[in-house]
Each structure stands twice: as C-alpha cells, then as structure tokens.
Structure 1
C-alpha cells in the first residue's frame, strides 16, 4: 500500500499503520511526493486488513487530499510479513477489498472500442460454430466474450447503490449486444449470398441445440456462472474468471438469434433471444446475491460500506 499524505496527516497515517497487526514494512518518506504535494508512506499489508485500512484512510481524507495505491505482492521473504498475515483474521483468498471491486468492475464495464470489437468477434465466431454445428467453436466464442464485466458492474452497482456502475454496465450491454448482433446478421446475409448458409444448415443442430433450447437448466447454469464469476472477482482468484464464459451461452445465443432471424427461423430466433435474457438476468441475480453475502460479512467485520 502506497499512500501520499498531506504533511498534517502523515503522523496519523503512520500511527494507523503501526497499530494495524496486518501491516508491516512501514516506511515514511518526508516531502517525497510532488503532485499532490506531501509525504509518501508505504507498507506491506495483508489482504485481510486492506479493506478496513482503506476505510480508515478515507475517514482521514487521504483519498481527497492525497492518494492511495494498492499493488499485489507476489513474493515476500520476510518473517514480519508472515506474522502480519497470521495476525489478520480470515483467509487472504476470501478477503474482499471493496474499493478494488468497484474500481475493477468500473474499468471493465466501459463501452469501449476494444469491448465492442471482442463482443462482435465473439458473436461472429459463435455464428460460425452454430452454422457448422461445432461446439468447440461455440466454446471458443464463450471464452472470448467480454460481457461479464458489464454484468458484474450492474450487480455491484445494485448492491452498493452505485447508479454510475449500473448505468455504465447497462449501457455496455444495451449497446454492445444489439450492435454485435447487427454485424452478425450482416455477416449471415453475406454467407447466405455466397451459398455458405441456408435454412437447411440450421435444421439439424444436435451439437449446439443448447444455444436456443430454453429450460430450467438454462437458469441454473446462469446462476452458477454468475456466482462463480463474482466469487472470482471479489477474491484473489480472479484468474478463474475465464472459466465462467465456458459455462454460459450469452454470446452464442445472441449470435444464433441473428443467424436464425436472417434465415426466417423465427421460433429459434425468439428462443435464442429468451435464452440470452435468461442468462443475463440469472448472472446478475447470482452475482448480486454473492456480493450481498460478502457485504454483510464485511460490515460485521467493522467497515460500513457507503453508496458513495
């Protein structure tokens, strides 16, 4: 944890870190910060203690008059660091740093060129997988899809009452999917014109029928995927987030709806659209429930989360 503190707050920040059992390697560099001006205070902090410390630093006004930066330490050879981890209650893998969650979801939910490009390519890839009845290609599209970022932002925004996150994530979904589906529909028209796509090609899709066949398991899979995704986002196991995309059919359903609509298979198109809606809603619900449980645990631990 690197803190830029105004000179009149440095002693309070230093004492705060020294009094925290989960902090060690405390260093104070007087006058080292130039913009904003102040002192630099650094410490190695156990993940379990970081959230509470951030709350106390905000109460000191450090976020407004200075700044706090968190960096993950992969390796630390120190008895003092080991003792700090042991002194902090809980497990580092389960600790939730709420400011980190808000920052990460806010960043990953933006309607950017790269987000739209990934979503569009994923839909096109899923369309090819549906046309060729190739589950491997469809799974590749699931992995490529970036839609969990906006979905997570909506869930976090609902739980923490952050309207900015809900609006940002909702905009990325509301604009991203229709645009990607429109491009996929245009691609389907081109494939149909050159003879690579026909109504008959969509008549027998045994391997990828799960894309548009809506049933109880559609919601179950979406709920499990949303829970797993939020757990990976709030814990130190964010690398497992990639596996979530393999479990749901948001991108394939969106792509297949476009292809089926172009070929006049309106029933399948509507089923795919329903599949997409079920998965989007299910993921948000499960993610929000996981986040609510984590929030209650954090508040019992002492930090009250605000909507700001």
Structure 2
C-alpha cells in the first residue's frame, strides 16, 4: 500500500475526493478542511494499493494538484487494516507488477543528475577498479562495481525513451558521458601517480591477468550479461526491490572496463585501451536496450491488464 497526502485548493477538493472514492483500491480517506496554509487549501489523505496508484496520481495531476497544490506519496511498511486488505484485493493486477511512472521518472531524474557526489563516486569506483585490474584482483573489481553509480543515468535514459522525455534523456546522457570522461581522466592521473611511487608498472599491465582479462576482451557473453543485468535492474526499480540493484551493479563491467582503458592509455597500451572501450560501450548498449525493452513490455502488459479489468467491470 501507498499513502497519499494531498494539498488541494478549496474549489478542487470535492473533485479530488470523488476521484479517490471512484478509484478501486483506495481506503482510509480523510479530509481536513482548511488545514493547509502554504499553499492554502484543504489536506486530503488516503491509502491506495500500489497497482491502482499510477492511475489515481495521473487523475490528480489532471486536476492540476501538482501545480496549484501538492501530491506526496509514501510507502507504507505495515498496515493492519481489513479495509486496506480489501483495497489491495479489489485492485486489478498485482502490486509487484505495477509501474509507478511518476515515481520512476522522479527517481531516475534524481539519480541521473551530474553532481559532484555522482562524479566522486564514479571516480572512486574507477580508481578502485584500476587497482583491481593491475593487481588482477577480482575482489577489488567486484567492490568497484558495487560502488559505481552509473546505473542511475542508464535507468533514466531508458525511462526517458519510453516516456518520450527528451530533457531527462539529455540529462542522463550528459551524466554518463561527462561522468565517465572525468572519472577516466582522473584515473589516468591516478595511474601516473601510482607508477611514480612504483605501485603500477607496465609489466603488470602487459602480464597475463586470468581473473580480470575479460575487461579488455569483449565478446558476446559480455553483451548477454549486460542485457540480463539491464532487465534485472529495471525490474528492481519498477518493483521497488532496490536490493536487487546490488546484484545488477556487480554483474556488468562498465566501471572496470573504463578503469582498464584509463590505465592502459596511461602506459600507451592502446590496443588494450581500445578493447576496454569496446567492452564499456558494449555493456552500456546492452543495458539500455534491455532496460528500454523491459519498460515497454511492462507498459504494454499493464495496459492490457487495465483493459481486461475495464471490460469485466462493464
């Protein structure tokens, strides 16, 4: 269940209440007349089943509450109520299958922001991965994958393609390109520093690295893994199962490939640098394709579910 807290202008409250009452899957409606001060108006609260929330939020936006009032949505961890149980039972479909497009767009918009924190995490992850590839240490590679924040912009780009949101697409694309460019540039400097203090050397870069050589040897398995990880990542976002994102993060070699490209470039190993760049681009492409396709399938299936529900109701 989700909890909605609305601030409605006084002349819109009745319409909002009727919309909530007419939405299957709602419960615990409460109206506090004149309770809101900024903006002035009434406060309306209700609980709604996750699978009915997207339609309700869309209707509330059509009333202009996002412009002249407020729509706040919170997850309910525990609800001991027979009315809530009935609302979830009456709502069409399953909550785990529902996609809250407004929430997804808002979340990916935030995650795809090119900020100092985003660049710092991506740079630190790339430098960690640089240590991992030089030492041929798979544990460091996995750690770097988990630290990397690049799935946020990738998810934002996929969402923007499906929702036809060019501003979000550009924002996500910029975060990816600029973020990786800065992180790789910093890692080139880090590699030169580590070489200066005799911790990195060209012999280690050229040596056989059975545990990490995959980062500069792209093949079809790399693309398959990226596709599977992209689909899993999108499902974890849309179903609010954020724990699965950790598994997604350590499944693809975006950060390690970027790190190896930077290290190889700093030692003039251009063939290895190009192989890593191919690996990076292949993984990014696979994630975007799979993530976009996953969202399109979810959107189509949910639309079909709504049509079936409407047909039964009529």
TM over 0.5, shorter chain: yes
**Deviation (angstroms), 1:301:** 4.7
Q: How does 1:11-30 map to 2 (within 5 A)?
A: 11-30=14-33
Equivalent in 259, 265, 268 of residue 263 of structure 2: 259
Unaligned runs of 5+ in 2: 308-314
Unaligned runs of 5+ in 1: 304-308
Equivalent in 228, 233, 236 of residue 232 of structure 2: 228
Equivalent in 292, 295, 302 of residue 291 of structure 1: 295
**Deviation (angstroms), 1:239:** 2.2
Secondary structure of the 1:267 match is: helix
Q: How does 1:102-141 map to 2 (within 5 A)?
A: 102-141=105-144
**Which residue does 1:46 correspond to in 2?**
49
Write the deviation string for residues 122-167 of structure 1: whole angstroms up to 9, x where unpaired: 0000000011110000000000000000011111111111011111
C-alpha contact (below 8 Å) 2:92/2:305 kept by paired residues: no
Deviation larger for 66-75 or 236-245:
236-245
1:243 aligns with 2:258: no
**Which residue does 1:194 correspond to in 2?**
197
Q: Distance in 1 between matches of 2:34 and 2:243?
A: 38
Write the deviation string for residues 263-282 of structure 1: whole angstroms up to 9, x where unpaired: 12211110000000000111
Q: How does 1:66-145 map to 2 (within 5 A)?
A: 66-145=69-148
Secondary structure of the 2:268 match is: coil
Q: Distance in 2 between matches of 1:290 and 1:41?
A: 35
**Deviation (angstroms), 1:191:** 1.1
Q: Distance in 1 between matches of 2:187 and 2:142?
A: 17
Deviation larger for 237-246 or 181-190:
237-246
TM-score, normalised by the number of residues in structure 2: 0.94
**Which residue does 1:306 correspond to in 2?**
none
**Deviation (angstroms), 1:69:** 0.5
Q: Distance in 2 between matches of 1:59 and 1:258?
A: 49
| RMSD of aligned Cα (Å) | 1.2
**Which residue does 2:67 correspond to in 1?**
64
Write the deviation string for residues 18-70 of structure 1: whole angstroms up to 9, x where unpaired: 22230100000001111111101000111011001011112222222111100
Secondary structure of the 1:8 match is: coil
**Deviation (angstroms), 1:302:** 5.0
**Which residue does 1:273 correspond to in 2?**
277
C-alpha contact (below 8 Å) 2:261/2:272 kept by paired residues: yes
**Deviation (angstroms), 1:238:** 2.2
C-alpha contact (below 8 Å) 1:93/1:237 kept by paired residues: no
Write the deviation string for residues 169-219 of structure 1: whole angstroms up to 9, x where unpaired: 011111110110011010111111121111110212111111111100011
Equivalent pairs, count:
303
C-alpha contact (below 8 Å) 1:229/1:244 kept by paired residues: yes
Q: Distance in 1 between matches of 2:126 and 2:252?
A: 14
**Deviation (angstroms), 1:242:** 1.5
Deviation larger for 131-140 or 291-300:
291-300
C-alpha contact (below 8 Å) 1:226/1:286 kept by paired residues: yes
C-alpha contact (below 8 Å) 2:129/2:140 kept by paired residues: yes
Secondary structure of the 1:15 match is: helix
C-alpha contact (below 8 Å) 1:94/1:236 kept by paired residues: no
**Deviation (angstroms), 1:297:** 2.7
